[in-house]
């Protein structure tokens, strides 16, 4: 009965993410529940990292690129 629990969570998670299971993907471990759980845990772990706030330095980098299209990044070797 416990085995049904992960599947439910996986469904909810997958629906929220985007159900992007390549069709006909083989399941070498031979256990769909385990493979689905692997997919959802992988996304959970990776999403933590994706959601990290982007440091301000990148915003300033981008605006400096904007004003000087071919200038090197600040903090890198300067030319000009």
Partner 1 sequence: MTDPDRFKDALLAELQSLRAFAISITGNVERADDLVQDTVVKAWTNMNGYTEGTNIRAWLFTILRNTFYSDFRKRSREVEDDGAHASRLAVHAPQHGHMDLEDFRRALAQLPDDQREALILVGASGFSYEEAAEICGCALGTIKSRINRARARLGEMLSVTSGADFGPDADSYAALAGADAGGAKAD
Contacting positions for partner 1 (CB under 8 A): 2-3, 5-7, 9-10, 13, 18, 20, 22, 26-29, 31, 33-35, 37-55, 57-59, 61-62, 65-66, 69-70, 72-73, 75-76
SS (H, E, C) 8-72: HHHHHHHHHHCCCCCCCCCCCCCCHHHHHHHHHHHHHHHHHHHCCCCCHHHHHHHHHHHHCCCCC
Do the Cβ atoms of 74 and 64 come closer than 8 Å?
Answer: yes
Nearer to partner 1, 15 or 28 (CB): 28
User: C-beta of 37: minimal distance to partner 1 in Å?
Assistant: 4
User: C-beta of 80: minimal distance to partner 1 in Å?
Assistant: 14
User: C-beta of 64: minimal distance to partner 1 in Å?
Assistant: 10
Tokens (6 digits) for 4: 């049904």
């Amino acid at each position: 009965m416990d085995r049904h629990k992960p599947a439910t969570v996986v469904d909810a998670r997958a629906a929220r993410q985007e159900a992007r299971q390549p069709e006909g993907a083989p399941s070498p471990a031979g256990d769909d529940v385990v493979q689905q759980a692997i997919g959802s845990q992988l996304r959970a772990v990776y999403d933590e990292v994706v959601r990290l706030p982007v440091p301000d330095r990148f915003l300033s980098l981008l605006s400096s690129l904007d004003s000087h299209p071919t200038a090197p990044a600040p903090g890198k070797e300067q030319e000009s």
